[in-house]
Chains A and B, each alone.
Chain A
Amino acid sequence: MRTTVPVIVAFLSGIILVVSFFFQETSFIGGLSQELKVWLTIVGGFTLLLGVVSITRVNFSGVVRRRPGWGYKILTLISIFAMAIPSILPTSWSPLFGRNAGSIYDWLFVNLDSPMMATMFATLAFYIASAAYRAFRARSAESTILLITATVVMLWRVPMGEALLNMLPGDIPSFLNTYVMGGANMAVQRGIIIGAALGAASMSLRIILGIERTYMGKG
């Protein structure tokens, strides 16, 4: 019961989507697959909410039990509620509610969440520079290729670097665009995409057939 029902659900929902590929969208099975995709969005939305509820529970429990850093956890809880509660209240009550421009949700996103996200990613610039120092040391043929390509691409992507490359004999920017980005780079991306897609397809088949059950967890 605890395992069989979920396996049957996964099989039926998966097989309908696969079979529907061979039917027109206007057919019964085509329509059913479209409906299942809408259902997926709804259930998927609830899984995201489950994640937020889980974060709230963990932080709340940490505050109640006075775990190390409980003061910071209060800030997390306040931030969650400050962003979430006004966003789910109807705009008819107040223009500050909902998600429109001028709402509390929008103000917090524009003035706090968005700049903090950009800063977090900008901080990575320093760590990526440190990683580059280690990765770009020309200790072998492979790392030398990595060093040359990365350096040339970085130069090529800034106006001053492009001007420098243009001063050299031959059309280096055009060569980079055609043979490095559109040739070698694209070939590798294609190889990786083909390999990963075959892996994803085989994993999908295992899930539909009930061979892969690790997503259910233990018990």
Chain B
Amino acid sequence: MTGIEIFQTWLIAFFTLALFSFLYKDNPVYKIAEHIFAGLSAGYYVGLIWDTVIIQQLWTPMTVDGRWWLIVPGVMGFLMFTRFWKKITWVSRIPLAFVMGVTAGIFLISQLHGLVLPQMRDTMLPLWNTQGYGQLFLTIIIVVGVISTLIYFYFSKEHTGALGVTAKVGIWFIMISFGAHFGYTVMGRVSLLIGRVQFLIEDWIGSFT
């Protein structure tokens, strides 16, 4: 290991242990690491946006490709900063309204055409097919699961009678799904923990020898 590699390993180990120290209780060392992390994360976005948006999508197309009309979104972007002056704060609503309007326009179509219709089409499968009883059972599970889940989240009518029974079935399905997701989340977080512990044991403690 070179000197710079040892320095990097110790630096990472210090901040890893500093952040883990919160598991005991909140302390100044954790706060130092936390504030540095927050600052680095904010600074990361400055570099990312500067390069991928301001330079690649605004400055280069305007100055090299001659797309001068991009000055309009550029000015709208700067108008966002009027939020910092009380008297003209309202001006920032214009670019905000533009963002909301375009996003809403994209969402309206993409949600209905890209999600609702394909998901509904894939749910409406023929019960009798050539793939045997296993596929039939799976199709029934999917149809019952989708309908009962939708009914569980339907709050315009009180969940009593047939609606209540279907909603109850919906809860069971939802619990199966949440259980599976919880299991996956636990495994994901534990994998990260294993990674950090592996770094501390193999790389950091390993560097002592």
Interface residues of A (CB under 8 A from B): 2-3, 5-7, 9-18, 21, 33, 36-53, 55-57, 69, 72-73, 75-84, 87-88, 98-99, 105, 108-109, 111-113, 115-126, 128-129, 132, 135, 141-143, 145-154, 157-158, 178-195, 197-198, 200-201, 203-205, 207-208, 215-217, 219
Contact = CB atoms under 8 A, between A and B. Distances in A.
14 contacts: A16-B105, A37-B106, A39-B98, A45-B53, A46-B78, A79-B35, A83-B42, A98-B51, A120-B37, A122-B193, A141-B172, A154-B187, A191-B170, A216-B93
Given A113-B41, A149-B176, A72 B99 contact: no
B81 A81 contact: no
B68 interface: no
A191 B145 contact: yes
Contacts of B102: 13-14, 17, 36-37, 39-40
Given A120-B37, A123-B19, A99 B47 contact: yes
A36 B34 CA distance: 38
B179 A147 contact: yes
Contacts of B78: 46
B145 A83 contact: no
Interface in B133-184: 134, 137-138, 141-150, 153, 170-184
B64 interface: no
A129 B80 CA distance: 42
Contacts of A78: 39
A77 B42 CA distance: 10
Interface in B50-88: 50-54, 57-58, 70, 72-74, 76-78, 80-81, 83-84
A6 to B, nearest CB: 4
Nearest to B37: A116
Given A45-B53, A149-B183, A77 B39 contact: yes
A-B pairs with lowest CB-CB distance, top 3: A187-B145, A79-B39, A83-B43
Given A13-B105, A113-B44, 20 more contacts: A5-B93, A9-B94, A39-B76, A40-B98, A47-B80, A53-B84, A75-B39, A76-B39, A79-B36, A83-B42, A83-B44, A112-B37, A117-B37, A145-B172, A153-B180, A154-B183, A183-B141, A187-B144, A192-B149, A195-B150
